[in-house]
Amino acid sequence: MELIKQNSQTKIIKSLLIVFLGSIALAISAKIKIPFYPVPMTMQTFVVLFLGVSFGFKIGLATVGLYLLEGIIGLPVFSNSPEKGVGLIYFTGPTMGYLVGFLFACYLASFVKVKDNYLTIFTKLIISTSSIYILGVLWLGILLGWDKPIFEMGVKPFLLAEITKITLLTILIKKILNEKII
């Protein structure tokens, strides 16, 4: 009985460590801008999908949730913070829909399985990433008005970068899923 309790505590500590380190990885991925056309690329969506695929929806959602909470309380973890603000003011700005979409994308990415073929993995990751952009566009439309070119502003510049990240993750998935982390 004591061994079961000890194993359970070890698993909880390991999960909490992954959540904490994952939120740090998300913050770092938001800050590193890779020159890309037509806009610089961050690796945030890659990390969000990676978390869902690697650790499942529970740990993935806890990690993304912690990252969002860190940003909401004022830590400069978001992509353009502190330059363009911090905390709840920044969170409720133009990027809120995308940030909330991270939760949905992480959850959907958790449905990628090791038995999936590459086309299925790619498709599941496209669907996962699409949830980020759907919520992002909806929020932009509400915030800026539907008379603005929302798709051209909030999706089109990022499509090539997203396809690149999804392709890279698709290639790495089999290796990631074959490694038991938790």
H or E element at residue 107:
helix 96-109
Q: Which pair of structure tokens corresponds to residue 142?
A: 């509400």
| Segments forming the whole domain that contains residue 151 | 2-178
Residue segments in the chain with a per-residue pLDDT below the cut of 70:
1, 3, 38, 179-182
How many separate domains does the chain show?
1
CATH code of residue 77: 1.10.1760.20
Burial 5-20 (b: 16+ CB within 10 A, else e): eeeeeeeeeebeebbe
Q: What pTM was computed for the model?
A: 0.91
pLDDT tens, position by position, 117-164 = 999 999 999 999 999 999 999 999 999 999 999 999 999 999 999 999
